[in-house]
């Protein structure tokens, strides 16, 4: 922490809970550009929801901090830091940065709002993912849950989700209330849109935050190829996701905004403005089977073929920078949202850079079940990294959860191709 003092803020009651777009806690201070990335601006104690069977009652704080956007400019972001009721002993303690699948432009979906008691968050994803976060808290780990999209909600943007994730870690480590040493081991984990953000954090860490003691990253269904996903999902049941991505990306790419102004119909512009206000589950429901071709006066394929849009899509490509930490990548072969071929490509690019990747291509699950099913294995894999066990580069083809006293892997076959993995979380069945 530098010379700027941490500004404490009194939390609001549930009746007064405001979304981040209207909450003064998120206001940027003067002199933001002069602050260091990750420097805390203000903090507040918050109360989280009691999620179904989870009466965790863990202490939680929200930190607003200085971060960096896609263009290198200073901006603010928030993270929710959750402390375990009983911290793990030295050598077993870590800080986990869990990146939620925000997958929306509206601040209603930001974890710092959606996780709070009294929030109108039933149509957001973060509360469901918190059931997986509980596995880390049960291990005695602290957890940082950043609003990795920043205040613009630029879902799909490259690199800046990584900057905000890493700056959230910096803020969590420097916060004086819980006194975590600067060299505390840190793991990264995220799924779907959160897996994409985690990928960016792992890729930009060597140059943006080399001082952090990162030990490994779990990338769950991390999109792989945004351009491919946009074309494949368009017109189908999940068509709201590419429409949402366009609504987010137009906020950070001037060339996309110009293309929209030039080629979008009045109906198309109206839909993009509407979806930017919706929580993700409403957006998916209301925009199912929408065809972006109907929003434009030229075919979507022709728009994507324009040189400045091609340049933008190339900028979104994951796997172009080499992480310096081992990776666990988890992807369902029969995923109806993220194509396994796209994630295959992302893994191949990492391996070409010499990054050790444990790649789980699960044959039995699909997009929505894989996160809870793979949770025990993800925690076990991170625990192995914490214990200093060397990672192995390999591909496995199934994940199955069973009651076992500890996380185990049963491997058959030779080389990278292995037939099965069995995982458990110390006696708890994966959440269904």
Q: Hey, which residues are catalytic here? A: 192, 335, 367
Residue 159 neighbours by CB under 8 Å, 6+ apart: 70, 200, 203, 204
**Cα–Cα distance between 272 and 260 in angstroms, integer?**
10
Which residues, in sequence order, are bridge partners of residue 143?
82, 96
C-beta of residue 131 within 8 angstroms of C-beta of residue 137: no
**Cα–Cα distance between 219 and 169 in angstroms, integer?**
17
C-beta of residue 172 within 8 angstroms of C-beta of residue 144: yes
Secondary structure class of 214 (helix, strand, coil): strand
- Look up residue 397 and give its DSSP letter: -
**Cα–Cα distance between 70 and 254 in angstroms, integer?**
12
**Cα–Cα distance between 219 and 193 in angstroms, integer?**
10
Q: Where are the beta strands (DSSP E) in 264-404?
A: 327-332, 357-362, 394-396, 400-401
Secondary structure class of 119 (helix, strand, coil): coil
Q: DSSP of 287-318, one letter per residue?
A: TTT--GGGGBSS-HHHHHTSHHHHHHHHHT-T
What number of CA atoms fall less than 13 Å from residue 233's CA on the CB side? 25
**Cα–Cα distance between 225 and 229 in angstroms, integer?**
6
Among candidates 222, 202, 197, 198, which has minimal Cα distance to 212?
Answer: 202
In degrees rounded to 5, what are phi and psi of residue 110?
-65, 135
What number of CA atoms fall less than 13 Å from residue 153's CA on the CB side? 25
**Cα–Cα distance between 364 and 332 in angstroms, integer?**
7
- Look up residue 182 and give its DSSP letter: T
């Amino acid at each position: 922490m530098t010379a700027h003092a941490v500004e404490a803020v009194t939390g609001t009651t549930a009746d007064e809970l405001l979304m981040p777009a209207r909450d003064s806690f998120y206001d940027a201070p003067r002199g933001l550009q002069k602050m260091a990335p990750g420097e805390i601006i203000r903090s507040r104690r918050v109360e989280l929801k009691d999620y179904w069977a989870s009466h965790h009652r863990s202490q939680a704080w929200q930190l607003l901090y200085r971060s960096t956007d896609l263009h290198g400019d200073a901006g603010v972001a928030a993270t929710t830091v959750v402390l375990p009721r009983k911290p793990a002993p030295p050598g077993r303690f870590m800080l986990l940065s869990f990146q939620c699948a925000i997958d929306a432009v509206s601040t209603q979906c930001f974890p710092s709002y959606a996780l709070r008691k009294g929030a109108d968050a039933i149509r957001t994803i973060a509360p469901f993912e918190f059931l997986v976060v509980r596995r880390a808290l049960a291990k005695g780990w602290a957890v940082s849950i950043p609003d990795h999209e920043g205040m613009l909600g630029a879902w799909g943007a490259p690199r800046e989700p990584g900057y905000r994730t890493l700056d959230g870690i910096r803020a969590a480590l420097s916060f004086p209330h819980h006194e975590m040493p600067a060299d505390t081991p840190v793991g990264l984990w995220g799924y779907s849109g959160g897996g994409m953000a985690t990928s960016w954090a792992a890729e930009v860490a060597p140059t943006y935050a080399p001082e952090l003691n990162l030990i490994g990253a779990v990338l769950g269904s991390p999109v792989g190829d945004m351009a491919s996903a946009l074309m494949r999902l368009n017109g189908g049941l999940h068509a709201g996701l590419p429409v949402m991505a366009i609504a987010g990306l137009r906020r950070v790419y001037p060339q996309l905004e110009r293309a929209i102004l030039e080629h979008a119909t009045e109906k198309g512009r109206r839909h993009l403005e509407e979806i930017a206000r919706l929580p993700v589950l409403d957006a998916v429901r209301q925009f199912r089977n929408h065809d972006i071709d109907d929003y434009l006066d030229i075919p979507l394929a022709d728009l994507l073929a324009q040189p400045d849009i091609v340049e933008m899509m190339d900028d979104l490509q994951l796997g172009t920078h080499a992480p310096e930490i081992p990776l666990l990548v988890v992807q369902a072969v029969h995923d109806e949202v993220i194509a396994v071929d796209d994630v295959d490509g992302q893994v191949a690019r990492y391996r070409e850079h010499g990054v050790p990747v444990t790649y789980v291509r699960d044959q039995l699950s699909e997009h929505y079940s894989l996160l809870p099913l793979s949770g025990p294995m993800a925690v076990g894999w991170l625990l192995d990294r914490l214990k200093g066990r060397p990672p192995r580069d390999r591909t496995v083809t199934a994940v199955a959860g069973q009651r076992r006293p500890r996380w185990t892997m049963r491997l058959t076959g030779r080389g990278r191709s292995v037939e099965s993995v069995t995982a458990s979380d110390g006696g708890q069945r994966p959440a269904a």
